[in-house]
Amino acid sequence: MLGIPTHLAPRVNAWSTVRAFHAAAIGSLGAAAIVLLLYRLADPDVRVVGAVLALIPMLGMIGVHVQFGTWRSAVAFLVVGGVCAWWFAVIVQREIPVGWVTSYLLSLSIIPLVLVGGAGAVAGRVALWSVAGFLVGRGAAALAVAQQGGPSHPLVLAWVTLGFVVALVFFTSRSTARSERVQPELLRSAREEHVSAYRAGVEAEAAAILHDTVLNHLGAIALAPDGPMDRQLARTVDADVAMLTGRAWLAPGTPPGRPEPGAATQAFEQMVDEHRAHGLDVTVSGDPTVLSRLDDEAVTALLRAVGQCLANVHKHAGTDAAEISVFDDGVACTVMVVDDGRGFDESTTGADRMGLRGSVRQRIGRVGGDVQVWSSPGSGTSVMMSVPYPAATGGVPVAGGAPTTGSSAVGADDAEGRP
């Protein structure tokens, strides 16, 4: 029961116990019918068909009670079951002279009445219904014995079953009480873990955004010629400063559940146009409209990662051309950024480099995606980013804003090399 909400744990526990009792009741009726048939095979003169037929209405009433599970169906089962138990006991008492076999069969007919469990979802009610079922069955058996004039039977198995039910209910009640004491601690730990994971994700995204904006802008300013700042770069810096000093980057670009039609495609085209304005020849192939199938956080992460890849191409690849391919395999949206520049060896980059590691790999990983990089010195670079569609996404969502001009600003990275 650990992990089940505290207010539901007792009901779930009692419901599970009652279901198990119902299955055992059906098994008891089946065992009684098998014993009768085996006895009939051993002694052909014994007429036990009537006793087997007496079990059928009881079996049907178990199905009715399982279906409805109300106190009325429980009472109906006890009434029908009591009559069937009496009918069964009359035939068994008359046809089977062996005392211990008779006692065993009578117990098997009473056990379903004990195990019905009634309609209660509370453990105490289950025990009370079981006691009531035992009394009904015991009374029916005693009446049959009195009518046939035979000796009484101890019905040991029925008594053992009743004791087991009461003990089990008592044990599960204590377990429920213990779980209710432990449950708040588990919920508190789970909540703290969730908050910690969310905070770590936000911090990582903040670090990636600072890398994509401030560091890139500083590099671009350092490499710019003397004189007034380029107007496009100035507008980009102003927009990024406004974004960093606000909270826009913490929220998705569109209201959850109400995405604007074509918003993801427009954001993609805007990001590509910004890089083209900075002198990078970007060729787009595939179908960018599939981006709209992603949720807001995934679109944001993917576009920011693609923007960082293009910024790396502009700064480090030694080429002014790159190609973006967008395609859909039905499970995930995959975007590949390819250039024919100088390439690099990822294994030689330092652990403190944030570009490829923080702004691409970790960012895509936070929305459940995957990144693969193929590159070597002199052979260009290919970065493939795959993000599953919402039904298959398994990562911890991290708040992230809509792609801004700063997330795709062209500028210097941390150091020599793409990361």
Tens digits of residue pLDDT in 48-86: 888 889 999 998 988 888 888 788 888 888 999 899 999
Give mean pLDDT, residues 26-49: 88
pLDDT tier for residue 325 given thresholds of 50, 70 and 90: very high
Q: d(Cα 343, Cα 376) in Å, to the nearest integer?
A: 5
Confidence check: pLDDT of 227 > 70? yes
The whole-chain average pLDDT of the chain stands at: 77
Percent of the chain with pLDDT over 70: 71
Contacts of 54 (CB under 8 A, 6+ apart): 84, 85, 87, 88, 91, 109
What is the four-CA torsion angle of 289, 292, 294, 300, rounded to 10 degrees? Answer: 100
Contacts of 370 (CB under 8 A, 6+ apart): 364, 385, 386
Give mean pLDDT, residues 136-164: 87
- Report residue 125 as tokens: 């009610």
Confidence check: pLDDT of 252 > 80? no
Confidence check: pLDDT of 326 > 90? yes
- pTM value > 0.75: no
Nearest to 295 by CA among 387, 362, 201, 406: 387
pLDDT at 234: 73
pLDDT tier for residue 308 given thresholds of 50, 70 and 90: confident
Decide: 379 and 248 in contact? Cβ < 8 Å.
Answer: no
3-state secondary structure of 379: coil
- Higher-confidence residue of 73 and 211: namely 73
Confidence check: pLDDT of 258 > 60? no
Confidence check: pLDDT of 284 > 90? yes
pLDDT at 355: 67
Q: d(Cα 326, Cα 214) in Å, to the nearest integer?
A: 28
- Range name among 213-227, 286-300, 359-373 with the lowest pLDDT average: 213-227
- Higher-confidence residue of 348 and 365: namely 365
pLDDT tier for residue 404 given thresholds of 50, 70 and 90: very low
Q: d(Cα 82, Cα 86) in Å, to the nearest integer?
A: 6
pLDDT at 354: 64
User: Residue 329 to residues 59, 142, 198, 290, 410: CA-CA distances in angstroms?
Assistant: 53, 72, 30, 10, 30
Q: d(Cα 75, Cα 113) in Å, to the nearest integer?
A: 11
Confidence check: pLDDT of 6 > 60? no
C-beta neighbour count of 366 within 10 angstroms = 23
Confidence check: pLDDT of 166 > 60? yes
pLDDT at 271: 87
Confidence check: pLDDT of 216 > 60? yes
Tell me which amino acid residue 267 is.
Answer: A
Confidence check: pLDDT of 398 > 50? no
DSSP-derived letter for residue 395 is S
pLDDT at 322: 93
Determine the number of helices (DSSP H) and then strands (DSSP E) in the chain: 12, 5
C-beta neighbour count of 257 within 10 angstroms = 7
**H/E segment holding residue 104:** helix 99-115
